[in-house]
Amino acid sequence: MSSRLESARKVADAVLYEGYLLYPYRASAAKNRSRWQFGVLVPPGFTATEEPAASQTECLLEAGPDTTIHLQLRFLQLQSRTAEEATDDGFRPVARLEAASTTYLTFDEAVDRSADATLPLAGLLTGTAQVVTVEFAAGQSVEPVADGRIVHEHWPISAALRVKAEPLPGPYGLARLQVRIENTGSWTGPSRQEALRHSLIATHLLVAVDSGAFVSLLDPPEWAAPAAEKCVNLHTWPVLAGEPGSRDLMLSAPIILYDHPAIAPESPGDLFDATEIDEILSLRTMTLTDEEKREARATDARAAEIIDRTDDLPPELLERLHGAIRMLRPRTTVHAGAGEDPDPEARRESVPWWDPGADASVSPESDGVVIGGVEVARGSRVRLLPGRPRGTRRADAHDMFLAGRIALVEAVFLDVDGNRHLAVTLEDDEGADLARAQGRFLYFAPEEVESL
């Protein structure tokens, strides 16, 4: 399984550390005081938050008599890191320890865990689930530092994989595989912080198959669609993983993904927020003050790696984050005889439906819209009134910085629903020429501007 796993490793790692620590990567940031939100399986005796103690993956595979299933359970185990200051009587816990020009903070970190199992499919078709037990013992380590020590401690984790399968009727050799991941720990109590010490965090599952193939649940073939609809997945979302076109590996994650998810090759490293844009997050990290960066480095070793990486990011790599062309389509030229117009049908077929060139009646650079009795088009000056009418349309926090600003209309677009949108640049923006050259505009509805 290891060779196949490598093709999905980056995505699986992104799932494992999703939300682990968020920008600005400091322990004092409010968003980093309430952590561990994805894929948490709590002990069954903890009911204060209604978080699940188990997750269930069901998927379809085309199987044969020699089909073998390989499972890899992956999760994070919470580990406390406590800074302790040396005293005459021994050591005492402190929130912050300054030792030899290095800052140490008391903060929770995590240890990544995994457990593997290989099961012949024939043994799973008996109707009785096979159980794979998973145990990780408690542990503690002490790291001496100047004027004190750092104590790392984690608590025991008990879990089980319950695996079974059932053959489905039909000529395709289809089977439904079910894998339940259960936290079987005995801890009870009302505190979520303590419950997390005995929880599986960012729990996800990699499933590989030999002598068989998985069926996509997102886009199943017509003959498998009824069976796909009956798959019951609880607190997890299984998709095909690995190289595009392959069907021997599945990733079941607590985050909704598409088949064959991949990390953009331009990404220089994890930022613990795969829903963000690397360019924006890297630029924001670069703007942190020296003191903020120092706190981030003291917060967590992984945060320190992010700070160091963005500080040393070469300009050419930062430029790569600005955008990438994944595919070029050939341009079809329609020739017309002297005095003849090109065939409009051929012109429409030469461009995709979403391209303005597909509709000769649309011309963003010359189209206009009437606002307050005045025709507004490219070159018009307008005043921005985002969110008008009050409380409708937008929920953008940046609008407060744009309200009342004067802007220049660059184009008027028509969307597929027949709505007009004004693409504008700010009149006093020194970077307007660059935005214009790159087509990076601000967009407003006609009722959100006032014609000047």
pLDDT digits 0-9 by tens, 395-426: 567 788 898 999 999 999 988 788 899 999 99
Judged against a pLDDT cut of 60, whether residue 243 lies above it is answered with yes
* Residue (of 279, 270, 372) closest to 324 by Cα position: 279
| C-alpha distance from residue 33 to each of 25, 112, 350, 444 (Å) | 11, 20, 53, 36
12-21, 72-81, 236-245, 360-369, range with the lowest pLDDT: 360-369
Give the SS3 label for residue 427: coil
CA 259 to chain centre: 14
Judged against a pLDDT cut of 90, whether residue 340 lies above it is answered with no
Q: Is residue 34 within 8 Å of 49, Cβ to Cβ?
A: no
What mean pLDDT is reported for the chain? Answer: 89
388 vs 41, residue with greater confidence: 41
pLDDT, tens digit, 9 for 90 and up, residues 48-105? 999 999 999 999 999 999 999 999 999 999 999 999 999 999 999 999 999 888 899 9
pLDDT, tens digit, 9 for 90 and up, residues 111-159? 999 999 999 999 999 889 999 999 999 999 999 999 999 999 999 999 9
Q: Tell me which amino acid residue 324 is.
A: A
Supply the pLDDT for residue 401. 87
* Residue (of 362, 365, 352) closest to 439 by Cα position: 365
Q: CB under 8 Å to 417, separation ≥6 — which residues? A: none
pTM of the model: 0.73
CA dist., res. 273 & res. 389, Å (int): 34
- The H or E element that residue 432 is part of is helix 432-438
Supply the pLDDT for residue 334. 45
Judged against a pLDDT cut of 60, whether residue 106 lies above it is answered with yes
Of the pLDDT bands very low, low, confident and very high (cuts 50, 70, 90), residue 353 is low
First CA to last CA across the chain, in angstroms?
65
Q: Tell me which amino acid residue 42 is.
A: V
Of the pLDDT bands very low, low, confident and very high (cuts 50, 70, 90), residue 336 is very low
